[in-house]
Amino acid sequence: MPAIYYTPLFRRLAQDPRLDFTVIYASSEGLRPFDPKWFGEARTWDADLTSGYRSIFLRAADTTPSLGDRVWQVRNWDIVPTLVRGRYHVLTMAGYHSLTYLMGALTQRALGGQVVFREDQTLLDPRSALNLIAKQLTLRPLFSLGRAMYASRENKRWFQNFGVPDERLFSTPLTVDNDAFQAAARELAPRREEIKREFGIDEGSGPVVLGVARLVPKKQPQFLLEAFRRVRERERCVLLLAGSGPLEDELREQAARDEIPDVVFGGFLNASEIARAYVAGDVFALLSREKETFGLVVNEAMNFGLPVVVSDRVGCASDLVSPGHNGFVVSSRDPAEAAAALERLVRDAGLRERMGGASRERIDSWTVEQTAEGFVAAARDAVS
């Protein structure tokens, strides 16, 4: 599906004279309303996701979901003739868990072309013995068909676990458009107090703890709310939850039942609006409990110079968060530990400033250009 995070990378690759680059889409979700269970209702991104690079939409793209719980739910039979006509030297796949991906990989190899897999999964979440055995039996032979590009240190470990040797692994970090976010930060900074008022945050309410996430179980916003409750008992501060989802009513009830003051629900913020939340924030928190393979909102927050508090189940933690330097990594199961980290930052403006500066410095070296170079390196190695 066309995605906000991949568009800057695709445009960068399209400009590279070393490549003749085409994107093949199996789904048009993102351009059309998609999965309401993500946000509580169907949403469409308000950004240009397809200009600046060549793309092909497979015939069933307008009725195909971007993700499926089962392999057969995403099946675009015309991936086969599309690859036959294109005769691409290298097929890069952003996953494996669909019939479209599997048909694509097998067709590409049958045509004598090369395959490069890209995934962002990690080993951070516990899995059953049966699941581990099944994945070893299926993914080892699949990944032996080609090379792989890893998005993070944790993701590299995941590929190594399925037998991909280091010489066939290439670093392509998950990145956001740093230039665009930093430009938005500069533009909106003078309006910070006005923006806070627009969210309903009164002047003098104290530092703003910001969470940007879908309000769904795996993000465990209830955990963040409980950690904030403990901090708010001792320090004046605000919790701004930017996002929507099926847990919103439950969270509102929790805040009312536990008499937690200064909880602001910012609602769903589209691509053109999300920078306002980051400008309003003082501390960023992502305390997911599972399946947070990376957490690109952390990249975004760091571009706004925010210190970050993430759980030990957030995939980007080992790459982007240096505990005590630009933030803290806390247990995804212990609200007291999360509260202690948040309280340190809420209480100490100097610490927030130092850690926020370190976040900005760290994210400056985590760029789309770096990701594009990894793509090119993997492609060149494949055809060599």
218 and 336 assigned to the same domain: yes
Confidence at residue 284, expressed as pLDDT on a 0 to 100 scale: 98
Has residue 316 been placed in a domain?
A: yes
In sequence order, what E strands does 223-370 have?
238-242, 263-267, 283-286, 308-311, 327-330
User: CATH code at 185?
Assistant: 3.40.50.2000
129 and 196 assigned to the same domain: no
Which structural domain, as residue segments, surrounds residue 156? Answer: 7-175+367-383
Encoded amino acid at 138, one letter? T
Confidence at residue 384, expressed as pLDDT on a 0 to 100 scale: 86
- Helix ranges (H only) for 35-149 are 36-39, 79-86, 99-110, 129-143
pLDDT tens string for the chain (384 positions)?
Answer: 888 899 999 999 999 999 999 999 999 988 887 765 555 667 788 899 999 999 999 999 999 887 766 777 888 899 999 999 999 999 999 989 899 999 999 999 999 999 999 999 999 998 899 999 999 999 999 999 999 999 999 999 999 999 999 999 999 999 999 999 999 999 999 999 999 999 999 989 999 999 999 999 999 999 999 999 999 999 999 999 999 999 999 999 999 999 999 999 999 999 999 999 999 999 999 999 999 999 999 999 999 999 999 999 999 999 999 999 999 999 999 999 999 999 999 999 999 999 999 999 999 999 999 999 999 999 999 998
20 and 154 assigned to the same domain: yes
Encoded amino acid at 254, one letter? Q
Rg (alpha carbons) of the chain, rounded to whole number: 21
User: Taking a C-beta distance cutoff of 8 angstroms, is the pair 234, 346 a contact?
Assistant: no
Number of domains in the chain: 2
349 and 371 assigned to the same domain: no
Beta-carbon count within 10 A of 37 CB: 12
Has residue 2 been placed in a domain?
A: no
User: Taking a C-beta distance cutoff of 8 angstroms, is the pair 295, 275 a contact?
Assistant: no
For residues 213 and 47, give the distance between their C-alpha atoms in angstroms, rounded to a whole number: 18
Has residue 84 been placed in a domain?
A: yes
296 and 182 assigned to the same domain: yes
Packing angle, helices 79-86 and 99-110, rounded to 10: 30
Has residue 101 been placed in a domain?
A: yes
Confidence at residue 36, expressed as pLDDT on a 0 to 100 scale: 52
30 and 153 assigned to the same domain: yes
145: which residues sit within 8 A by CB, 6+ positions away? Answer: 105, 109, 115
User: Taking a C-beta distance cutoff of 8 angstroms, is the pair 149, 375 a contact?
Assistant: yes
Confidence at residue 280, expressed as pLDDT on a 0 to 100 scale: 98
Whole-model pTM: value is 0.94
Has residue 1 been placed in a domain?
A: no
In sequence order, what E strands does 124-245 have?
147-150, 169-171, 208-212, 238-242
Has residue 114 been placed in a domain?
A: yes
196 and 295 assigned to the same domain: yes
Confidence at residue 72, expressed as pLDDT on a 0 to 100 scale: 79
For residues 76 and 80, give the distance between their C-alpha atoms in angstroms, rounded to a whole number: 9
For residues 203 and 194, give the distance between their C-alpha atoms in angstroms, rounded to a whole number: 10
Side-chain half-sphere exposure of 236, counting CA atoms within 13 A: 7
63: which residues sit within 8 A by CB, 6+ positions away? Answer: none
Confidence at residue 33, expressed as pLDDT on a 0 to 100 scale: 79
Encoded amino acid at 50, one letter? T
Side-chain half-sphere exposure of 44, counting CA atoms within 13 A: 6
265 and 184 assigned to the same domain: yes
Has residue 246 been placed in a domain?
A: yes
261 and 317 assigned to the same domain: yes
No. of helices (H) and no. of strands (E), the chain: 16, 12
User: Taking a C-beta distance cutoff of 8 angstroms, is the pair 31, 66 a contact?
Assistant: no
Confidence at residue 209, expressed as pLDDT on a 0 to 100 scale: 98
Return the residue matching tokens 């019939």.
99
Has residue 239 been placed in a domain?
A: yes
User: Taking a C-beta distance cutoff of 8 angstroms, is the pair 219, 248 a contact?
Assistant: no
305 and 329 assigned to the same domain: yes
376 and 359 assigned to the same domain: no
Confidence at residue 32, expressed as pLDDT on a 0 to 100 scale: 83
Return the residue matching tokens 């013995």.
129
Beta-carbon count within 10 A of 364 CB: 12
Show the tokens assigned to 81: 């003739």
138 and 186 assigned to the same domain: no
373: which residues sit within 8 A by CB, 6+ positions away? Answer: none
For residues 146 and 114, give the distance between their C-alpha atoms in angstroms, rounded to a whole number: 6
